[in-house]
Structure 1
Amino acid sequence: MPRFHKPVDAAEVPRFAGQSTFMRLPAVPTADALDIALVGIPWDGGTTNRAGARHGPREVRNLSSLMRGAHHVSGIAPYEIANIADCGDLPVNPIDLVDGIARIQDGMSKIVATGALPLSVGGDHLTTLPVLRAISQGRRVSGKPLGMIQFDAHSDTNDSYFGGNRYTHGTPFRRAIEEGVLDPKRLVQIGIRGSIYEPGEHDWAKAQGVRIIYMEEFIRRGAVDVIAEAAAIVGSDETYVTFDVDCIDPSMAPGTGTPEIGGFTTREAQEMLRLLKGVNIVGADVVEVSPPFDVGGMTALVGATVMFELLCIMADQVRRRRTG
């Protein structure tokens, strides 16, 4: 049995002490020999209103000290079945948007090249675009564009903002579709809600084949039915999972850049994530945690808990692949 990295034992070093890392795992300089690389992307250069998501990774690290070693429902103990560690933060440029995107892509490409599955914490949702580019170029086995399951209040498929700026946290998936990184017919967006800029704002995405499941439809159908459809749409090919914390109702996750009332409860979000077992996940992220707008670490705790839910699913996938 290979030896895997283990978190710091809370019975030996209390949770409020020691080095702050994701899940209290060792901090490592590279993803070499890892099955899953935990990564921070402290960048919010694409934010159009309430900035602060650049501080998300640090606070999610702090609150992830509350995560323990095994999942209480599935019984999955991720650190017993996969080699996982904190690879630190990707290099960013907080001033130059284009250079910032390039740095994120380059840093993630180095991680993907090792064969590790990336699980990152942003940062605003534009960080997902360079991550998708890196995964698409570096590890795509099938030669097909990636599928994606997106938990979000917003479609993020607008074309431009502020006089033609095509790179904001409201445009990443339009760019990814245009670039051939994402297959729009294998893109499912769950939890979309809130006012829009104009009628037909989502028409372009729908015309490409994107499946948009508005919050009202989710309420009618429930988690089991919705995730079954999402899993059927992405199929067995390589799929990315992106979780924008603004999909959660702001009463439970106030610390985010673009809050929308009427969102998921944290319990509903956990249920949906657990139902992703069996999806061919090649990477995942949690984005838009903005600590300056948080209350008592509530949103950072949501981010850390969602990260652990995804980590358990991904570790179980690693185990199943290893054992055939």
Structure 2
Amino acid sequence: MAENAAKRLKTDNGAAVAIGTHNGHFHADEALAVYMLRTHIPTYAGARLVRTRDANLLETCHTVVDVGGEYEPARNRFDHHQRTFSTTFPDRPTKLSSAGLVYLHFGKAIIARRMAQAEDSETVSLVWRKIYENFVEALDAHDNGISSYDPALLAAAGAEKRFSNGAFTLGAMVGRFNGYWNDPVIEDPVAAQAAEDQRFELASQRIGEEFDRGLDFFTRAWLPAREVVAEAFNERQEYDSEGRILVLKKQSAPWKDHLYTLEEEKGEEGKVLYVLYPEKPVPGAKWRIQCVPSAGDSFESRKPLPEAWRGSRDEELDGITGVEGGVFVHASGFIGGNKTFEGALAMAKKALKI
């Protein structure tokens, strides 16, 4: 099984393990694949990196990623460029890159070590899938030339980008570590390869830092929030008979993903409109009222705060809402605040009726 891949690893006579990948222009997928192995799988700690397309040299490597034309997990060969290759992550449509392949086979071991749990535990599987969908899959799609949206459908709809996002994708971030077209040419091939390898090492470390931040967030913050949001979801009729207001009583937690999942599980999609939470987990803290987005990455709210409230603050806001203690309502209407929980709840209930 994929999750047991790390248990197969062996080294000969204690020699340092060698990981092979291709030289030349590098990409985010092999940069992350190498990082995950070297940093998170004990067998690969201190592993040598061999960047070459020489088949004979690759054959001497313990593990090969993104080159070699083989996907043979039993032999630690993880290339995806074969014409016949079609492997995807379970229940996902995106064809894997070398990052996805390494994560498929070693991801559970990485997460299990971080969480000190068994690889086959339910929580490890949950985080394994979440990190793939929220981080690794983007690299797989980028390397395989898959767009987030169908270009034909976008063109048919006449959709155009409103602004440039600065091309700041994970793939572009790694790509910036490659040499420029007009850099001085290093004549000595050994020195040239060493310089290129050094840039790859920097790129691998950089994409790895982002992976580790994601791993830390999903294991230490996102997962514990699941219980907090579930409790609030089950108690929401205390504040509105139709369950449209969710209250995080003690402090805010990452709630969007969990809310959408809970709604789907209960067959109540789109039900919750407002989420209330204290700004800080201390007595007397001010409270926020946040509108639930129509989708996780959307700026559109299911029900924005009333237009007449937007852009107002303090006493002016109190006069418009008829609720004391108002702090502000954002000009776009996606969030507002009150000095007390009671005030925030009163604002939410009034907003439901407008």
Fold shared per TM-score above 0.5: no
Which one has more relative contact order, counting CA pairs under 8 Å at least 6 apart? 1
- Give the TM-score range, shorter chain: under 0.3
- Relative to total residues, which structure has the larger strand share, 1 or 2? 1
Rg larger for: 2
Q: TM-score, normalised by structure 1?
A: 0.27
Q: TM-score, normalised by structure 2?
A: 0.25
- Relative to total residues, which structure has the larger helix share, 1 or 2? 2
